[in-house]
A and B are shown apart, each in its own frame.
Chain A
Amino acid sequence: MKLALESIRACLDGAIPAVVATAAADGTPNVAYASQVHYVDSEHVALSFQFFSKTRENVLAHPYAEVQVIEPVSFRHFRLRVQYLRTETEGPLFEYMKAQLAGIAARSGMDKVFALKGADVYRVHAIECVDAQAPATPQPDALLKLRRTLDHLGACDDLAQLADRALAALAHGFGIRHALFAMLDAAPGASGVALYTLASLGYPASGVGAEVAMGEGLIGVAARERIPVRINYHTGDYTYHAALQVADPASPRIPLPVLAHPNSQIAVPLTHGARLLGVLYAESEQNAFFSHADEDALVVYGRHLGALLARLATLPDDESVAPAPPGETPHGTPLVVRYFAHDHSVFVDNDYLIKGVAGSILWTLLNEHQRSGRRDFCNRELRRDPRLPLPDFADNLETRLILLARRLAERCPDIALEKTGRGRFRLSLTRPLALHAA
């Protein structure tokens, strides 16, 4: 029976080094270790090009090679007859291999030595199982995991609920204990196009509102390239932490709550058609926690979530809402709220709360309440408000309001935003305000 490349993907995760046999122009054989043999598609693999080696010299002159890979646990050997086609030095394949190599290099203690120069793409002509009699390593059923995840997700008609349930469902389906749901903010702000953490699972601090720049860390690479990126081992390469955790005192920033030393990481784009809506990120303390099949299943899950996100955005706002019941009169020491217009950052009693569009929304609401006593607001009026730096298209207003409401609940419970209907919310205060614009 002809073996499919898909059936040996467990061998292509860098767990056990592969070897590559090539021939020089004069017929002299060469065998070298390959740190990474990457599954590209059903007919192609890519080998990492790190140094100008004899292997590379040989395949440029005589493109035929044989790669021997080993299945973890069973140690069954497979041999692939391959033909060198081309080298890619940028783009999704290169970026994925670069990220994955960082994990492989760190696992083997070679992170100071390994750096990807290119992804050498080979056509696979034949696959031979050398140890056909040996028992195969059982493979996990990722389709079943996905089905369980979707069963648990159920129907969602609210963005905040969708983000929370999307993560909780991962725990049920995949046994994932640490994950983030980040939404794309397509409106270039002061810090450029970025992703914002809308919900998290399994961290001491929620990190809601934490920002990840495009291309930054594993989440940013997955977003920029619109590819899943999976690293199976702890990497010391700072580039591939979930995101750089720079503490810049000049720029207040909510830290991502991620694990300090994850041994497995995966970031999957949330897409709908050609549109990128966010990134789902998960990590584990275990090595090789996410398999190729898990990656497939999570990509499907990411597209399902993308479709749900796109649908939610088309639902109309509620036309009216019951008027606010008389609330308690705020009392006690006034909350000192300071607003810095240059980055729309808001500090409450000298503690940083939020910045950007969400910061300017809060400042606008508090001023409106101070001026008129109003507590009920709707998304539509915010979209029309000239004081808010919302883009004309794809404003992500709902995302920003959820971020704001969650950040307030965590850091400043004296101010609350409660949803009162689709596209409607209510401001509640337990202390009086002292507003200062810097």
Chain B
Amino acid sequence: MSECNSPFLNRVQEIITDANLSPRQKNLFLALTAEAELPYMPVSEAVKTVMEEGVLCDMFEGHAPFKPRYVLPDYARFLSQGSKHLELEPAKDFDDALNMLTIIYHHVPSVTNIPVYIGQLDDVLMPYIGDLSEDEIHQKLKHFWIMLDRTLPDAFMHANIGPEDNIICRTILRVDAELKQIAPNLTFMYDPAITPDDLLRQAASNICECSKPHIANYPMHAGSYGDRRFGIVSCYNSLPLAGGSNTLVRMNLRRAAAKAKDAKDFLDNVLPACSALMVELIDARSSYLHEQSNFFKGFLTTEGLIEESRFAPMFGIYGMAEAVTDLFEKQGTTVRYGYDEQARQLAHDISAKLAEIVDNSPVKYGLNGRAVLHAQGGISLDTDATPGVRIPYGTEPDPISYVQTTASQHQYYTSGISDILTIDETVKANPEAMYNLCKGALNAGYREFTANVASNDLVRVTGYMVKLSSIAKFAAEGSRTNTTWLGAEASKNTGILDRAPRVVSFESNPVYNPTYS
């Protein structure tokens, strides 16, 4: 074979000959590499500068977006009307429904190429249970769950259940605890007015078994999007159902804070200025998708499973802990984020200001013309900033203090906030404590409750599931799951395995990194 003599060709060859990636994983990275050869969509010099400075980051979504970041099709509608494009009749029974879902998942794009949302499964499947017995449903869902994990092995793929008590919801919780798979990820919606306590107890006990489901504060999300008009996807992103997110751009608050004289300057001047540039970048990215990529001419749109107007850009932020600490430092004060009241108050003020900015900033393609604020969970390449508004790794107080410190910020992050509580494994013998903690957190205003039980084999590394043992094995053998690959990178860069059992959240497909091969 002749020598490759351009960086592009070198990269292509590196990917193709990588010993650890599967052909499918190679396809993904080859496509990303090719897209990166196109010129970046037009943005101003000011935007380019802040991107180079690391203040803004486009999450490596690519130079020419041709699919939305997250898509949440209306699967209930799909089952009830069938699909002309896929040549499918409306679902007649439970088997039919599961088969149709299995088919359509392969036609739902996302940033990872694997569907990040597989439906509010109890709403979607309840109409088709007919007179099936509990055992029959259990058997069928178990097969379905195994199929999902083996054919779509990505822990960003997210199923939703609850808040009502029903046979599908209970059986999925049972199957999930039995199988302890990486995929799919699972969110249980909790509504104190509807959800029976014993169902929440079952969910809490599952968390002790396998660190999922996440518990979503249903009334809070419904308040933002409307009853049954949203889904939780990937890692704790709350987005419009029959819509999704066209792009996610994030701001490193630490790097932004570096531009400010003091906290007041940050709130009054720097944040608004950086946010204006962020909106410009969001508009450039979403304009390309909506106007040039032809994505919205596909069957998902024409058959009414998604609506172009229900896609919103996510306005992500991270590095709150460092931003707050650094801003106090500028005033000659040392504070500890997560412990000191003045640090908590400034973080709260920053979050409130961000929410105000997002509410008052029209975007070209948004939900009701607006972006949605998101406390972003970090990616594996982050080294200097803590995910979202979390308390830095290894310095976390006890879980209740953690909740009480961060709870007041949750109201502002409409499209999700990934606080993760690490609980030591003694809780396994006392799942009632997990239940107490969960109820307390939701009562305190938590939008989502996510707990990671330490020294579980299944640990959440950056918001999705990866088996610790898989990470250990990966370097030598490669992995069946895409996200284990991501976890390997996260654990190497952020040292998560050295710390108190830990978690960064992760919503992105990072760039190909040959040091893993």
Q: Is B a genuine binding partner of A?
A: no
